[in-house]
Amino acid sequence: MEGRQRPTIKTVAARAGVGRTTVSRVINGSELVSEQARAAVLAAIAELNYVPNSVARGLVTSRTNSVALVIPESESRLGSEPYFSAVIRGVSTALAETRTQLQLVLVRDQAERDQLTESVAERRVDGVLLVSVHEHDPLPGLLEDMGLPTVLAGRRSPAESLSHVHSDNAGGAATAVSHLLARGRRTVATISGPLDMDVARSRLQGWREALEKAGHEASERLVAAADFTEEGGEAAMRSLLEQVPGLDAVFVASDVMAAGALAELRRQERSVPDDVAVVGFDDSIIARHTNPPLTSVRQPVEEIGSMIAHILLKEIGNPEEPRQRVVLPTELVVRESS
Amino acid sequence: MEGRQRPTIKTVAARAGVGRTTVSRVINGSELVSEQARAAVLAAIAELNYVPNSVARGLVTSRTNSVALVIPESESRLGSEPYFSAVIRGVSTALAETRTQLQLVLVRDQAERDQLTESVAERRVDGVLLVSVHEHDPLPGLLEDMGLPTVLAGRRSPAESLSHVHSDNAGGAATAVSHLLARGRRTVATISGPLDMDVARSRLQGWREALEKAGHEASERLVAAADFTEEGGEAAMRSLLEQVPGLDAVFVASDVMAAGALAELRRQERSVPDDVAVVGFDDSIIARHTNPPLTSVRQPVEEIGSMIAHILLKEIGNPEEPRQRVVLPTELVVRESS
DNA sequence: AAGGACGATGGGAACGTACCCACCCGGAAG
DNA sequence: CTTCCGGGTGGGTACGTTCCCATCGTCCTT
């Protein structure tokens, strides 16, 4: 009794005393079927415990009802960045409504990247969600050329041609810097992300604009770029303190880097916020637990996730759908570090 | 030129001047094909840029080359617990070697649970990985009945019948408690996880054994159960301090709960570690950032992930494979909270 | 020199579904 | 009473692959 064959549409048809097509119509909710036939089919389905074979269906419809979420990051980041988890949650929520499967693809090295493009070429997914894109990443263009619906969380550049969703990075950064200035800080440095990422450039731009608007000079000496890791933040803070010993505030483009910066400040016995005020970005879990708790720019990450999923589903449904660019607002959460 | 049809195996066969079967043989690495034919086929594949259609293949082989990773948790946990991210990384690493796709399924409510069982019934995956199982979770049994290869991270109970991998929870907890006793603590309380989870019971058991081995009484008054959340940890700490005001140490069954406990201790102006020593479990990123940094039991989470994936792949390859139970060692990481 | 044996090959069938199209039948319109 | 129309129905076919089996040489054995 164990290995019983799964019933097929043919079994159901025989049981219900109708043709295969009628069963198919009932399953797919067609109107052109009599009440009587529908009832018979439904009963047969229930009795036989029939479930349509989605692979066979996919073969004929050439749809897989699954999308890939691609996270192209070095190993260290998925672990430390709650950002990715939140995106995953949002995507999963949006997808759950439409019975679309989520394929998670972590791309860490060239081998995994090749595998991804091959998997995409095999048409195992109907569309692709891309997170954390770098400026010269070949993947988005590749997907675009293949005609596969693609939506980005973030963008390669302000001229991004694919649909994308991101938060108001420049605005959030500017708010953070204005907040620091409003508290009387004079010399606001910044630790930026990798400058081949638009998200890093935008936050840097926000810092610059806020300073200039307030009549300060946004000197290059006040900028240190890092790589969104804790160690990177630490090293950047060290370098800033060397370059500009008199700084009294720093806007850090991510909480994880800010945690590193705080560690370095502590090591150099600079008190936070008395000597140096610090503001992070993301308002991730870490922000609440640093010493002192970190003021941070909150971005609606989960919403970004659900929104890219929604847009992708729409583009899968209709490839002619116009591309969308969505910007979501940020919010400053003030804690004790500033 | 945009919407060109993808080449099929038939196109390739015609191009190479051979039959479909020969092409299929070349693709699947069969030995029974002449060098000459193989070369012709390979050339045709390259020229046409042919990629096999995995859906069609799946239809006949009834294999999808994808496995599901099911994370059945309330929304709050995937975000806060680096545990899940680490498992995902490990699984992804192991799967990448074999070109197996990873379907991520977040199960948060009944609707998503129904969808999961349906998706499994549709045979869209070759096997299932289950994380964070509760004692009376119906899902593992359901999967077992369906004959679908299933491997757990953790176990429902010590009598778990499915293959599973977990860390030495009891041993890790005992080490933590012994460490506290060795530092001269007299009254070691504990905050446990939900007692319908084996992982929580095992850690509680480790606490109990270590106390008894040292000649202390493991009184029930020293135990407060929480739900692995920060707020839960906070409330549990509060209740312990009410019950046992004289406690001088607490072993907390997760870092996230420990962070909550630290917050409550701070509020009640108990100094850590001077008045109360605290040890957590997981050695997650949070442990390094609490105030003070948290002593914690490290478990090899990423390794758990890659191991469950490996075992699952083996069972998919051969369903007769004997069930495995793997226990991985833990390690105490001492920081300033103890 | 004839009979196997074995490597190489290709055609047919099957996997389970959706869709095209032809068919049947009853009621409304002429 | 015939004709037409359209709702309801089911058989044939296609989707792209793998596997079974039959066929065809060629080389080795007796």
> Can you tell me the distance from the alpha carbon of A2 to that of B318, in angstroms, rounded to the nearest whole number?
17
Q: Strand, helix or coil at A187?
A: coil
Q: What digits encode the pLDDT tens for the residues A113-155?
A: 777 777 777 778 999 999 988 888 888 998 898 889 999 999 9
pLDDT at A329 over 90: yes
Q: For residue A284, give the amino acid letter.
A: S
Count Cβ atoms below 10 Å from residue A93 Cβ, excluding itself: 18
pLDDT band at A234 (very low <50, low <70, confident <90, very high): very high
Count Cβ atoms below 10 Å from residue A151 Cβ, excluding itself: 26
Q: Judge whether A249 and A207 are in contact, CB under 8 Å.
A: no
> Can you tell me the distance from the alpha carbon of B260 to that of B239, in angstroms, rounded to the nearest whole number?
13
pLDDT at A6 over 70: yes
Q: What mean pLDDT value characterizes chain B?
A: 91
**Protein residue minimizing CA–C1' distance to D20:** B21
Q: pTM of the full predicted structure?
A: 0.91
What size, in residues, is chain A? Answer: 338
pLDDT at B131 over 50: yes
pLDDT at B112 over 80: no
Q: Which of A53, A80, A111 sits opposite B122 (nearest CB)?
A: A53
Contact B55 A53 (CB under 8 A): no
Closest CA to B67 of B111, B131, B24: B131
Residue A135 tokens read as 């400026």
- Helical pair B198-213 and B169-182, crossing angle rounded to 10 deg: 40
What pLDDT is recorded for position B320? Answer: 87
What pLDDT is recorded for position B77? Answer: 61
- DSSP letters, B86-148, are HHHHHHHHHHHTTT-EEEEEE--SHHHHHHHHHHHHTT--SEEEEES--TT-HHHHHHHHHT-
**Which residues touch A197 (CB under 8 Å, ≥6 apart)?**
A132, A133, A134, A135, A154
Q: What is the mean pLDDT of residues A199-226?
A: 96
pLDDT at A183 over 80: yes
pLDDT at A76 over 80: no
Q: Judge whether A186 and A248 are in contact, CB under 8 Å.
A: yes
Q: For residue B129, give the amino acid letter.
A: L
Phi-psi region of A66 (alpha: psi -120 to 50; beta: other; left: phi over 0): beta
> Can you tell me the distance from the alpha carbon of B44 to that of B27, in angstroms, rounded to the nearest whole number?
12
pLDDT at B255 over 60: yes
Q: How far is the CA of A56 from the C1' of C14 (A)?
A: 13
Q: How far is the CA of A22 from the C1' of C21 (A)?
A: 15
Contact A121 B54 (CB under 8 A): no
Q: Kindly list the strands in the beta sheet with B101-106, ordered across the sheet, starting from the edge strand earlier in the chain.
A: A325-328, A163-167, A150-153, A127-131, A66-71, A101-106, B101-106, B66-71, B127-131, B150-153, B163-167, B325-328
Of chain A, the percentage scoring pLDDT greater than 70 comes to 96
Q: What is the mean pLDDT of residues B267-294?
A: 93
Q: What is the DSSP letter of B222?
A: G
- Considering only residues A332 and B291, tell me which one the structure prediction assigns the higher pLDDT: A332
Q: What is the mean pLDDT of residues B34-48?
A: 94
pLDDT band at B80 (very low <50, low <70, confident <90, very high): low
Q: What is the mean pLDDT of residues A32-45?
A: 93
How far is CA B170 from its chain centroid?
A: 18
Give how far B252 is from chain A: nearest CA, Å.
17
> Can you tell me the distance from the alpha carbon of B253 to that of B299, in angstroms, rounded to the nearest whole number?
12
> Can you tell me the distance from the alpha carbon of B301 to that of A86, in angstroms, rounded to the nearest whole number?
20
Q: What is the mean pLDDT of residues B311-322?
A: 92
pLDDT at A13 over 50: yes
pLDDT at A179 over 80: yes
pLDDT at B259 over 50: yes
Of chain B, the percentage scoring pLDDT greater than 70 comes to 96
Q: What is the mean pLDDT of residues B208-214?
A: 97
Give how far B204 is from chain A: nearest CA, Å.
26
